[in-house]
Structure 1
Amino acid sequence: MNHEHLELLVTRVMPYGKYQGRLLADLPGHYLNWFASQGFPPGEIGRLLALMHEIDHNGLKPLLEPLRKSKREQR
């Protein structure tokens, strides 16, 4: 896990599915759990979903708040 990957979680949106258009950091835990049980998609989106699953599963979502704030201030 590195800073750039964490920044992508608060800027990249889900490209398809039920939660299309929602930030990856805002995806609900049950949706991330479903991917974990079924298998994450290939490529970058799969790696980011797996990272978000780990963050959510371990109760670490507050770590993303400073990045969210920083991105909001940049707009």
Structure 2
Amino acid sequence: MQPDPQKLLELAYAQMHFGKYKGVYLSDIPEPYYVWFRQKGFPQGKLGDQMQQVYELKVNSLEGLLRQIRMRYPRPRK
């Protein structure tokens, strides 16, 4: 299964919408924050799905991919 490049680009630029890390790229939020959500439950909707994806990348030490994408490719237009 190949990842969707557009969704990966969108994930690289996704930011937290609330709380202590509001406005921070999801990939730049520390892993323990995601571990807590993994135990308590991720939010519903798109943000929750993106947080789960970033959690999986972090657990597998792949969050650097999202930083590299941000450096190489421009932010997608909405």
Same fold (TM over 0.5): yes
> Would you say how many aligned residue pairs link Structure 1 and Structure 2?
74
Give the alignment of 1:22-41 within 5 angstroms.
22-41=24-43
SS, match of residue 18 in structure 2: coil
CA RMSD of the aligned region, Å? 2.1
In structure 2, what residue type is equivalent to 1:29?
E
TM-score normalised to structure 2 length: 0.80
Larger RCO: 1 or 2 (CA < 8 Å, sep 6+): 2
2:5 corresponds to which residue? 3
> CA separation in 2, counterparts of 1:59 and 1:37?
19
1:15 corresponds to which residue? 17
Identity %: 33
TM-score normalised to structure 1 length: 0.82
Structure 2 unaligned spans of 5+: none
